[in-house]
Chain A
Amino acid sequence: MVPATLDLGRLDLVSTTSGLQLQLESLAQFAPFAEDDDNAERSLTAQLLTADRRDRPWICRASNFRLVLGLRIADDLHVADRDALMNELAISLREANV
């Protein structure tokens, strides 16, 4: 069975101070469930995005739940210290558990 995915859309952010723009795309991946692959995503979309909240399935956390942040910086942007940037980001998120 293939995990069902749900495209949550995209949005753009702009910073008026730095002149940078960030495009965010969000996608949720659900554990496989007993439906054929063709219908899985269609029904998932219908259930989770269009159905009334009173009729929605219960969404719970899978045991291996992960949040994946992908960061791509345009080629024409030269970050002062890219490694430090990613370290800062990773450490900040990890330190929530300290």
Chain B
Amino acid sequence: MNATSRLSHRVLTVRQLWNQLRLEPTTVEASSVNSSALDLITLSLNHIDQNGYQLRRCLHKLGTGVPFYDVKPPTDIPTRAIEVVHLAMSVSRKRKRKRRKVSIRAADAVQVVSSSAPAGSVNAELDWSDEELLEPEVDEHLMGGAGVLNPDDLDELLLADFEVDQAIFEVGTGTPCGEALNELSFSSPQSARLLKRSSSTTEPNDEDEGIISSNAILQLVGPALRLAISDAPKRLAKGVKPCKSKAFTQLANLAPSLWSPSYLSRVSSRAVFLPTISHALANVAGKATTSASLRSKVAALSPLTTGLNDDHGSVRKKLSIRLWYLLQAGLYDQEAARRLKPICFNVASDGASEDEALDILNASQQSEDLQDLELEDDFEADLDNFDGDKLFENDLFEPLWHVEAEDYASGVAAPSLNALDSALRLEQPPRLLNEPRCGWIALIEPAGLSPAEKFEHDFNYPVRGTDIEDNLLSVCDSVRSPLVTADGDETIDQYVVAEELYAKADGEMRDWPLARQSGRFCDAHGMLAI
């Protein structure tokens, strides 16, 4: 990889992360504190303001011209503005933890084994490598998300042999964050014990005093940043493992509007309808209807609206609040942050990272349009609605979906779709096509029949109009397929899949180059034989 590629790689990988979050750094300041060997980087982050993106995302004219980040919850919803996120990273050599205890255990083992076991087993017991003793214990709670700091958990933190770096918080902004951290972390007797024991158990480092490369540190910084955002990011750097973390709250869990991809835009696109919906529901709940059924349903939505003396405005207000909370909670997707792109700094020596970089370059260098990258994120987010992760796990379709998502984003011609072609040619439906989450449609048309005739013949479905897309739409609706229709090509004279399929996901029509190939009609529930 030459220097230019590395630079592009670096730009793209970081850019992708920020674009996924719809954020852009406006200023970056670097400073260092010589007295404490502390380096600080401060980024001012704004939401990306791109009209084009907003226009495409806008599903209704009510949202036209409104930036996606301009979300105003109902007046009675408490709002907190987050000003600073501090990430303090302390890098040290991995310690030989509990070394003394291990030695004692080993000595005990010698005694026990020497008195009761053959000599050969003594060596087996003693043959514990340092790596085994130091093997990080992957924390189950790390994958579970947020929690509250448990005093018992603090003892686990002793093993880290770190001392809390107050200066990182204090120097960063000149705010009393350090004091707050001090109160939060070390106000309990257990915490005081932690500090004392931590300092007493730190042993002089007897490891090699070799020079550490910058890349070795950056290899940890990137995953640390992603782990600060998401609990289980995908494709964490090779050889990097989280351990000993309890009571850690990820940023995406705390503030999804900032740290969960697509969350804010999805909230924004729906929030514009809240006043209208709450107004309509308030009418239903009020005097506008005598239907007890309707009124009971509205009451079930928000029990607080059943007060007989409530006026229309009061009911509408309560409904707005209720709907907002439903919206806020319902759109949160824990998986979204896990798909944040890895940050690959200038780690050209790492094989895996280089491969990833080349993948990204191949997919992205042909388009510098940031909006395309955003669409990729949206596309992935839409796939989530279809529970597409199951699909990604399948070996057959994994490359297909990824390739198409990237191609769609970059606007380049679709590469070979051998995987799909092979699947379509099979006599028996492949296993994947019977998976209920397979959400795509392919249409074949025989010789001698018009698309409409062929459609009616094959699917025994009445053709109601001349436009075959209308009929496909009906079928898709009936099988709840997320994708919609194929282009009826009158010139097709063989078993040929229409070249262009249109994917309908989340209400948006998108061009989606699929394939020109023989195939079958597939739906969300499997394959419809013809």
Question: Chain A residues in contact with chain B, CB under 8 A?
Answer: 2-3, 5-31, 33, 41, 44, 47-50, 52-62, 64-82, 84-90, 92-98
Contact = CB atoms under 8 A, between A and B. Distances in A.
B25 A94 contact: yes
Given A13-B241, A17-B239, A24-B228, A31 B81 contact: yes
B300 to A, nearest CB: 16
Contact of B211 (A22, A23, A66, A78): A78
Contacts of B518: none
B466 interface: no
Given A8-B228, A77-B212, A85-B218, 6 more contacts: A8-B251, A21-B93, A25-B168, A59-B81, A71-B38, A80-B213
A68 B44 CA distance: 9
Given A15-B239, A26-B248, A93-B43, A68 B84 contact: yes
Interface residues of B, number: 119
Contact of A30 (B10, B73, B83, B248): B83
B90 interface: yes
B257 A20 contact: no
B361 interface: no
A62 B87 CA distance: 18
15 contacts: A11-B244, A13-B220, A14-B94, A14-B241, A22-B220, A22-B221, A25-B87, A25-B164, A29-B175, A30-B83, A67-B85, A78-B210, A92-B343, A96-B14, A97-B24
B211 A68 contact: no
Q: Which of B47, B95, B185 has the most CB of A within 10 A?
A: B185
Given A10-B245, A68-B40, A93 B14 contact: yes
Chain B CB within 10 Å — which of A12, A41, A90, A98 has the most? A12
A62 to B, nearest CB: 4
Given A59-B257, A69-B89, A76-B205, A33 B332 contact: no
B142 interface: yes
Contacts of B83: 3, 29-31, 62, 64-66
Interface in B112-166: 136, 139, 142, 146-149, 157, 160, 162, 164-165
Given A3-B83, A21-B94, A22-B224, A70 B168 contact: yes
B246 interface: yes
Nearest to B84: A29
Contacts of B217: 20, 71, 73, 79, 85
Given A30-B83, A65-B83, A21 B241 contact: no
Contacts of A17: 216, 219, 238-239
A28 B69 CA distance: 20
B25 A97 contact: yes
A88 B25 CA distance: 16
Contacts of B91: 20-22, 71-74, 77
Residue of A71, A76, A94 most packed against chain B (CB within 10 A):
A71
Contacts of B82: 28-31, 59-62, 65
Contacts of A85: 214, 217-218
B104 interface: no
B77 interface: yes
Interface in B305-347: 324-326, 328-329, 332, 343, 345-346
B356 to A, nearest CB: 15
Contact of B11 (A16, A18, A48, A95): A95
B3 interface: no
Contacts of B414: none
Contact of A22 (B32, B43, B89): B89
A69 B30 CA distance: 9
A59 B79 CA distance: 6
B80 A9 contact: no
Which 9 interchain pairs have the tightest Cβ spacing?
A11-B245, A70-B168, A9-B248, A74-B92, A5-B180, A17-B239, A85-B214, A7-B184, A18-B216
